[in-house]
A = this chain, B = another copy of it.
């Protein structure tokens, strides 16, 4: 990403106008060079990449301002789960055309979040495409050398802990698509808005990065469905888990739709886009983790226990009976 000089092209002008204001890090060189610099600080650099595609991860008529925020936040969520502090991001933006009415609010939302989360734009590429809009972000975080939190450290006896609530985003998407939840919640506009907002605007838990680093034995973010993501964490750690379904935290609207059988439990725990943290936390660390989360204004719930074994995690109902899940996560292919 580089901007105009003599003979500035449309692409360069676009970058200068919309994206240079986001490149507040000195290592971005005002987007006037071929590359950016992340200065050596003695810390390890955590690198994560997530892309969002129109019609797949966001809807064509989602507000551009939330699309920009979501593209960054899904990456910030990964950094949070690794215990890393955001350092910046590279942006690839594939556009059909350079329309101010879309680009201005997109860049505005992205820029506000870049500032809010301390994650400035470092560089990137803007390309034309005849296809759907696509935004790919590679985000960088810093963590003390050797201290990144992995998926692979969970130990039998650790608590399985999630932040926030699960399943709201899949309900928000269902509402936007006119699914069963849309009709069921039509008489409650504030609940409707809340669920839609949870889909469009994830709340990455970066405020908990330090607590994750200090207390979690393993962590990841919940992006493709709680059940499947817990399976991945367990597989990476060579363990299994037992989850107490009634302990899974649902928002009031989600719990209501569940009670009314508008949505199935299975759908809530296998839907995507939660962007909450999923951690394995040793018993003797849980109180401290919960306390630090509480101080940061983030609710946490202990939903189960890591156990020895290699089978997929078990989900038990209130009577301790295993619930069979035919679907555990979202997959692109």
| Docked pose: A131 CA to B96 CA in angstroms | 11
Assess A47 versus B122: contact at CB under 8 Å? Given A81-B34, A127-B332, A138-B90.
Answer: yes
Any chain B CB within 8 A of the CB of A92? yes
* Among B37, B95, B124, contact of A46 (Cβ-Cβ < 8 Å): B37
| Residue in B closest to A237 when the chains form the complex, CB atoms | B5
CB pair A51 B127 closer than 8 Å: yes
**Distance to closest chain B CB from A175 (angstroms):** 22
Given A94-B134, A97-B333, A128-B333, check contact A48 B35 (CB 8 Å): yes
* Distance in Å: Cβ of A119 to nearest Cβ of chain B: 13
Instruction: Say yes or no: A35-B148 contact (C-beta < 8 A), given A92-B49, A94-B51, A333-B128.
Output: yes
Verify B1–A49 contact, CB threshold 8 A: yes
Instruction: From the candidates B39, B132, B313, B331, name the one contacting A11 in the complex (CB within 8 A).
Output: B331
Q: Which of A37-76 contact B (CB under 8 A)?
A: 37-53, 55-57
Complex Cα spacing A223 to B90, Å: 19
Interface: A12 (CB within 8 A): yes
Most chain B Cβ neighbours within 10 Å, of A7, A123, A132: A7
**Chain B residues closer than 8 Å to A79, beta-carbon distance:** 35
Cβ contacts A1-17/B at 8 Å (1 or 0 each)? 11011110111101000
**Residues 260-294 of A at the B interface (beta carbon under 8 Å):** none
Contacts of A193 in B (CB 8 A): none
Whether B36 contacts A311 by the Cβ 8 Å rule is: no
What is the interface of chain A, defined by CB distance below 8 A to chain B?
A: 1-2, 4-7, 9-12, 14, 29, 32-53, 55-57, 78-79, 81-82, 84, 90-92, 94-95, 97-98, 122-132, 134, 136, 138, 140-141, 145, 148, 150-152, 220-221, 224, 227-228, 231-232, 234-236, 310-313, 328-333
